[in-house]
Amino acid sequence: MSHPMSRRGFLAGVGAFGVASALAGCATSTPSPAAGSGTKKSAALQLKSRETSDGGRKAMQALLDEFAKANPQYKPTLNTMEPAAFQQQIRADLTLATPPDMLTWFAGEIASNFAKQGLLLDATSAFPADGYSKQFADLSTDASGKKIFVPTNYYWWGMFYRTSQFEKWDVSEPKTWDEFIALCKTLKGKGVSPIALPLADSAWLTASWFDYLNLRINGATFHRALLAGQESYTDPRVAKVLDTWREVLPYLDPAGKGLAFQEGSAKWQQGKDAMFLAGTFLGDATPADVKADVNFFQFPIIDANVPVAEEAPLDGFIASARTANPEGALAFMKYVATPQAQELYLKTSGSTLIPANSNAKSPVSTPLLEKGRAMVASAADVTQFFNRDSNDDQLNALTTALVRFIDKPDEAGDILKKWQDDSAKARGN
C-alpha cells in the first residue's frame, strides 16, 4: 500500500494546473502593527511564491517584469519556496519585522484568520469595482468588510467521466440524486464499477463527497458554520448526509481502499471505473489523447429548495500588514487584479485554470473549461474545499470518520460522536 499523501502534497505537484491548496498550521501569533507603521518607506518589493513549476516561476516573474515596466519606481523581486515549506512558514513570515511584501495564497478560513489577527494589508483600494462575481468578492472580504485577498484564478470540482465510455454504455448525465443512483445501478448491471474513490494515498478525497452532500442537503451557510465549530457533527442534519452517502457505498470501486490516486485515475481512464468526483487536476493527469474525451457533470441536486453551491478553489495574492512599502504592495495587488495580468499569467504558465476576473480571457478555451466556468458562474454560492474552509487538522478528523464509515456504515452514530470530539480537539476546544 502507498504511503498516505496529504491534499497539500498532492495538489502541489499536479502539473500544469499548478494548484497548491494546502493550509498552514494554526499556531497563534501576535497581531501586527498597521501597514508600514514604524518602518522606513522602501522602493523594494518582494513577492514570495509557492509556484515551483517552471511555468509557475516564469509566470510570476512575467507579472513582476510587466508591473515594473509600468511602475519603475518599484524594484520587485521573486522568492520561490517549495509548497510544503511555504505553508509551514507563512504565518511566521507575516509576523516578521521585515516580511515578504506580497505572497501567493488562497481564499478560505485561513486567510480570514490571518486578517482577524491583523496580519494582512487592507487591499480594498486595490480591488476593482467590476470584473469579480459577488461570490469571489465575498471570498476576498474579511469580517470587517475590508478586502484582504485578490483572486487571480480558480478551478472547479465535478463528477468526471469519459464521453466515449458513456456513449458505449448508452447512459447520459444525471441531474438529480435519484437519477444518479439509477445511473449507478445501471452501470453496475453492465459489469462496470460506477465510482472511483482511491484512498491508499488520498483519503482526503472523501471530503469532496461530504462537502457536496452537505451543500446539497443543508446548504452553504450550515456547511460553513459546521466547519467553523458553530454546529455539531452529531446534529441530525449531518446524520442525514451520511444516510444519503450510504446509498452510494455499494457503487464505490471495492478495490479503492488499496489504490493510490494514480492507480485510481488509470482505472477511470480505462473505463474500469465510470465516474470520479474530483477537481480539474484529474483531467490534467490524463494523457493528451484522453483529454479531449474528458467531460463532467454537476454534482446531482438532492433538494431543489437548497440554493446551489459549487466547490471552486480560488487562488491569488495577499499582502503583509507589516510591509515597509504598502503603496507598492497595493499597486501590485491592483495590477494582478486586471484582466491583462491574469491573461499574462495563464498564458506564460501554460495553465488551464480559469481567470478570476470575468473580463479576462482564458488563453486556452475548451468546451470543458467553458462548461466549468458557466457552472461556477451560475452558482448561488461558492465554497473552497473542506480544509480551505477549515484547516488540515479538521480534514484529518473528517478522513478518519469517513473512511471508517465506508467500512462500517452501521456505526454512523458512534462515528459522528468521535468526529465531533476529534474536531473539538483540533480546534483546541
The domain made up of 157-311+391-426 is a member of CATH 3.30.429.10: no
β 354-355/75-80 pair status? unpaired
Contact (Cβ atoms closer than 8 angstroms) between residue 126 and residue 147: yes
What is the DSSP annotation of 226-263?
HHTTSS-TTSHHHHHHHHHHHTTGGGB-TTGGG--HHH
In this structure, what DSSP letter does residue 385 have? -
Residues forming beta bridges with residue 319, ordered by sequence position: 102
pLDDT confidence of residue 36: 42
Residue type, 424: A
Residue type, 301: I
pLDDT for 72 equals 94
Taking the model in full, what pTM does it have?
Answer: 0.84
Q: Fill in the DSSP letter of residue 126.
A: G
Q: What pLDDT is stored for residue 41 in this prediction?
A: 58
Which CATH number describes the domain made up of 11-155+314-366? 3.40.190.10
Separation CA 158–CA 296 (nearest Å): 6
In the chain, the amino acid numbered 59 is A
pLDDT digits (tens, 9 = 90+) for 123-174: 999 999 999 999 899 999 999 999 999 999 999 999 999 999 999 999 999 9
b vs e for 167-177, b when ≥16 Cβ sit within 10 Å of the residue's Cβ? eebebeebeeb
Q: Which residue ranges make up each domain of the chain?
A: 11-155+314-366, 157-311+391-426
Q: Do domains 11-155+314-366 and 157-311+391-426 have the same CATH topology?
A: yes
- Given this model, what pLDDT does residue 83 score? 87
CA distance 236 to 243: 10
Please report the pLDDT score of residue 136 as a whole number.
93
- The stretches in the chain having pLDDT less than 50 are 1-4, 12-40
* Structural contact between residues 135 and 379, judged by C-beta atoms closer than 8 angstroms: yes
Distance CA 110, CA 26 (A): 8
Q: How far apart are CA 370 and CA 373, in angstroms?
A: 5
pLDDT for 70: 95
On whether the CB atoms of residues 102 and 332 are closer than 8 A, the answer is: yes
pLDDT in tens, 48-77: 999 988 999 999 999 999 999 999 999 999
Predicted pLDDT at 286: 83
